[in-house]
Amino acid sequence: MTSATAIANPNIAFIKYWGNRDHDLRIPSTGSISMNLAGLETRTKVVFDSNNAADQLILNGRVARADALERVRVHLNLIRARAGIGLFAQVDSVNNFPTGTGIASSASGFAALTLAACKALGLDLDEPELSRLARRGSGSASRSIPGGFVEWQMGEDDESSYAYSIAPGEHWSLVDTIAVLSTEHKHTGSRQGHIFADSSMLQPARIVSAPERLYICRQAILRRDFDALADVIELDSNMMHAVMMTSNPPLMYWLPATIAVMHAVRQWRKSGIPATYTIDAGPNVHVISPADQAVQVRNKLEAIPGVLQVIVAQVGGPARYLLGDQS
């Protein structure tokens, strides 16, 4: 028997990943940039044992659905092939953030699974190799391996498509204040959405203009230029949602309260409060602000009708192992 435990944070994309050039390898259509979310974490223990007759997955204390197990099984196969070891695994994965809040757990989930499974099988991989492997499980998981502010370079093949840190968390104390507007499970997940993206006539325009937004966002982070960051991340989020809404089938993730929060955040910024929004594949709104504005932003969000819950996260670190009896 051999086992290991790892922890990873989810991340929020400032410049989004939406669409692939190669769906099997998850080579994205554009690069992307994100911030890891401290305090929110997935903790995953992987036990490989010759007594296991098949892979098993326990998610938040319950036997996982068949589709989730299948995705994990396919990912473990990659890691087993790499290690040359055929043992089946028991995977026990727990999120400390509430499920159904629309915070993507696939990024932290596949980052923690990759790290724990590699460690348990004795694979000693460097950060780019771990990021590449995590990418195969879920694209955004590639960005949850390094710490702080992270860029996933699109690359052109398996070897060149991975993520790295562009600045550590200490570089800029930003906070993500998440306005949870719905706890319903989304009907179309990112996995299918990436496939539909190419059916939107707006996707080519989004792809061709992505390098400029990546440059502006990277520079804004490096220079701690909040106004430049605010403009580019709202533009990028709006562009991704324009692609979603014009794909076939159209994906409309926004609720009335989503639009209310977007308007409010823009209004706050006009009145001098540094705050900006970005929205993933769901209705919830991530409001990014400097840490010293977070209490104000939280209070204001809680006063907006339709906001069910507010979650606050600072910039998180890299995915990491737990040693010895911590695991």
Which range of residues in 9-17, 87-95, 175-183, 220-228 is near ligand DP6 by CB under 6 A?
A: 9-17
Which range of residues in 1-9, 74-82, 136-144, 202-210 is near ligand DP6 by CB under 6 A?
A: 136-144
Residue spans of beta strands (DSSP E) within 29-156: 32-36, 42-48, 56-59, 62-63, 89-95, 149-153
Cα distance between residue 66 and residue 174, in whole Å: 38
* Per-residue x/- track, 147-176, ligand DP6 (CB under 6 A): ------------------------------
C-beta closer to ligand DP6: residue 13 or 257: 13
Q: How far is the CB of 145 from ligand DP6 (least distance, A)?
A: 13
Residue 292 CB neighbours (<10 A): 10
Cα distance between residue 81 and residue 87, in whole Å: 11
Residue 32 binding ligand DP6, by CB under 6 A:
yes
Residue 106 binding ligand DP6, by CB under 6 A:
yes
Of 121, 63, 67, residue with least CA distance to 93: 63
C-beta closer to ligand DP6: residue 109 or 268: 109
C-beta closer to ligand DP6: residue 12 or 47: 12
| From 40, 104, 112, 257, residue interacting with ligand DP6 (rule: CB under 6 A) | 104
With beta carbons less than 8 A apart as the criterion, state whether 301 and 311 touch: no
Residue 194 binding ligand DP6, by CB under 6 A:
yes
Residue 138 binding ligand DP6, by CB under 6 A:
yes
Cα distance between residue 204 and residue 30, in whole Å: 10
Question: Peptide bond preceding 249: is omega within 30 degrees of 0, i.e. cis?
Answer: yes
Question: How many residues at the interface with ligand DP6, by CB under 6 A?
Answer: 16
Q: Please name the residues in contact with 99: beta carbons below 8 A apart, sequence gap of 6 or more.
A: 60, 105
User: Encoding tokens for residue 30?
Assistant: 């554009």
Residues at the contact surface with ligand DP6, assessed by CB under 6 A: 13, 16-18, 26, 32, 104, 106, 138-140, 190-191, 194, 280-281
